[in-house]
Structure 1
Amino acid sequence: MSAVAEISPARAWVLATRPKTLPAAVAPVLVGMAVAHAIGKFALLPALGALLGAMLIQIGTNLANDYFDFKKGADTHERLGPMRVTQAGLIDETAVRNAMIGTFAASALVGVYLVGVGGWPILVIGILSILSGIAYTGGPFPLGYHGLGDLFVFIFFGVVAVCGTVWVQALEWSWLALISSVPVGLLSVAILIVNNYRDRHTDVKAGKRTLAVRLGGKLTRWQYGVTLALAYIVPVVQFALGHLSPFALLPLITLPLALRLFRDFISLNGSDLNPVLERTAKLLVIFSALYALGIVGL
């Protein structure tokens, strides 16, 4: 309790935004920017708008999770992950709810500019992204509580984020964008797998049926390994088929890091997995940055 009491209001709001999760918003935009450059359609201002919008939606989703998980009783004193400000009593639940609304509203304002550039597809993407950010833990059928979180993350932090970033710059469909979104989405899912595997026992008590709860510990460990492996296979296949230059193999530099992560993941439990969660997020960023360089051919 003393540690909580020492946290200032400003620090509490920083904790509420969960800045360590922002790699999941930044990584797909980096790859989308690289794809747009590769097809000769890079546009700086729309790309930066996509980056800002993605980060605001990520923060809004974090605030929604903090608020709704508290309201549903999923966050308790038994929580093993990073501190949730509502559950810890650092910020009033109404203030967190209002911050969530304000953050999503700010993302909508950025979206007005992006819709002006990219038209109705960006409008659809923006609306669905905000609604899904709320529905992940809120509403009558919270996605994360019914084992759909992994699919949600793959779609919105992989396919939608990469393809949307390319669309707002190129104003055209790109198969390269779709394929290149797959490893980004998979590594974003890997972050969620660690989170849900760590929390599977407390989630059962809260009635939260994540995919990790449904699969059980052994299969979830396999899921993490397969997810990492598939992410590395995609750029290799792209190079082998001649779709990208040898620079596409740059992400393989991070393979030793992925192997160490898998080793630690299968051997640790509970709060000991928190460093694995953080390192998986770092893997996403480093992999995506190298992948982006590979796509543009350095």
Structure 2
Amino acid sequence: MMAEERKIKTDSPQAWLLAARPKTLSGAAVPVMIGVALAWVDTPLYVGGSFSWLAAVLCLLFSFAMQIDANFINDFFDFANGNDDAETRLGPRRACSMGWVKLDSMKRAIALTTCLACIIGLPLVYYGGLEMILVGMLCVIFAFLYTTFFSYQGLGDALVLLFFGIVPVCCSYYVQLHTVTWQVFLASVACGLVIDALLIVNNFRDRDNDRLAGKNTLIVLLGPEGGLQLYLGAGIGAIILGATFWMNGHPLATVLPLIYLLMHVFTYLKIKRIYQGKALNLCLGETARNIFIYGLLVSVGLLLV
């Protein structure tokens, strides 16, 4: 497999596709799906309220662009700082460390995707007001700070909760209805917990290498047993917070995600059984699948009134 990977032509379309990590886009899509679904069902409740599909699409495209931008930033800085060794890495291969993408090319790609995200997000000012500029600026700034600082201080999970839960869900709702209810906020926290499970299993796999590199992730700080409980608790916590859907007149959005919880528990048991090594990448893929299914079940549950 390594020989085949190294044959990928430098800066080729295949190399850039791998660098973009398309499998991670489910984590970018799910919070927007939930925010849009919440806005759609709540639009009739507001006098003069109208739903804009263009605003919804712009939110999704901005989320995709920022996810790819963050992936490029992570790829570049981890390799440039010597924290991404192709020989010792347990996770999926990264473009810069494998030589698929030159560092100078990645610098230009980061500048390009950052500008593209800003261009896509700028029209959202028309729908959500000037505050959308501040939101966009924070997304860009923290995309850099996550890899270069916060992930080393055990704060990566907090940023995932904020920028893969609270910000995208609430903003996708806000650009439609110019308000955020407490039910929407709780739903955004639940979404953030579900997506944080992906970071948890990633850091659980890399805990030994991270400890040696001085990267104090939450898993390094809590230890493997604490990390396992954190993974399980993220899924359970999301389901508990999902009770807000029932209270707001959407019981199916609370009941259907129980399917997700069952899948989450099965993945947890698999993580516990495998415990360490590259085999945990299977659980990483399962967790990404579970996240998408959660988003789909919540959205369908909201729409089937």
TM-score (norm 1): 0.95
* Counterpart Cα distance in 2 of 1:97 and 1:270: 31
Q: Is the 8 A contact 2:6 2:98 kept in 1?
A: no
Residue in 2 that maps onto 1:89: 99
Aligned-partner Cα distance in 2 for 1:15–1:61: 14
Structure 2 portions without partners, runs of 5+: 44-49
Which residue matches 1:6?
7
Residue 196 (structure 1) aligns with? 203
Which residue is equivalent to 2:74?
65
Corresponding residue for 1:143? 150
Mapped partners of 2:277, 2:57: distance in 1 = 37
> Are residue 246 (structure 1) and residue 247 (structure 2) matched?
no
CA apart distance, 1:147:
0.7
How do 1:148-167 and structure 2 match up within 5 A? 148-167=155-174
Partner of 1:39: 42
Aligned residue in 2 for 1:216: 223
In the alignment, is the contact (CA less than 8 A) between 1:18 and 1:62 conserved in 2? yes
4+ residue runs over 4 A deviation? none
Residue 131 of structure 1 corresponds to 141
Are the aligned partners of 2:62 and 2:117 in contact in 1 as well (CA < 8 Å)? yes
User: 1:109 — aligned with what?
Assistant: 119
The Cα RMSD (Å) is 1.3
Structure 2 counterpart of 1:226, one-letter code: G
Unaligned ranges ≥5, structure 1: none
* Whole-angstrom CA distance in 1 between matches of 2:302 and 2:132: 24
Aligned to 2:27: 24
Note the C-alpha offset of 1:237. Answer: 5.0
Structure 2: distance between partners of 1:294 and 1:127: 33
Superposed displacement of residue 182, structure 1? 1.8
Post-superposition offset of 1:20 = 0.9
1:263 maps to a residue whose letter is L
Distance 1:122 1:37 in 2: 20
Equivalent position SS for 1:15: helix
Does structure 1 retain, via aligned residues, the 8 Å contact 2:183–2:244?
A: no
Distance 2:239 2:190 in 1: 7
Cα distance in 2, alignment partners of residues 278 and 120 from structure 1: 38
Cα separation, 2, equivalents of 1:135 and 1:271: 27
Residue 265 (structure 2) pairs with residue 292 (structure 1): no
Q: Which moved more, 1:202-211 or 1:160-169?
A: 202-211
State, as a whole percentage, how many aligned pairs show the same letter.
36
* 1:143–1:149 Cα contact (<8 Å) kept: yes
**Aligned residue type for 2:117:** S
TM-score by length of 2: 0.93
CA distance in structure 2 between the partners assigned to 1:250 and 1:26 by the alignment = 19
The answer to whether residue 185 in structure 2 is matched with residue 178 in structure 1 is yes
Residue type of the partner of 1:4?
E
Separation (CA, whole Å) in 2 of partners of 1:256 and 1:126: 35
**Aligned mates of 2:3, 2:245 — CA distance in 1:** 53
Q: Distance in 2 between matches of 1:83 and 1:252?
A: 33
- Measured against aligned partners, the alpha-carbon deviations of 1:263-288 in whole angstroms (never above 9, x if no partner) come to 01111112111011111111111111
Q: CA deviation at 1:36?
A: 0.5
- Structure 2 equivalent of residue 168 of structure 1: 175
What is the DSSP-based 3-state SS (H/G/I as helix, E as strand, rest coil) of the residue aligned with 2:111? helix
What code does the residue aligned with 2:273 have? S
Give the AA of the match of 1:29: V
Cα 1:55–1:20, aligned 2, differ >3 Å: closer, same or farther? same
For the 8 Å contact 1:73–1:206, the answer to whether it is kept is no
Q: Is the 8 A contact 2:186 2:244 kept in 1?
A: no
Q: Which moved more, 1:121-130 or 1:169-178?
A: 169-178
Does structure 2 conserve the Cα–Cα contact (< 8 Å) formed by 1:244 and 1:295?
Answer: no
1:178 is paired with a residue of what secondary structure? helix
Q: 1:136 aligns to what SS in structure 2? A: helix
Residues in 2 aligned to 1:122 and 1:174: alpha-carbon distance in whole angstroms: 18
Q: Which letter maps to 1:56?
A: A
Range with greater deviation from structure 2 (150-159 or 286-295):
286-295
Matched letter for residue 44 of structure 1: W
User: Corresponding residue for 1:257?
Assistant: 263
- Secondary structure of the 2:122 match is helix
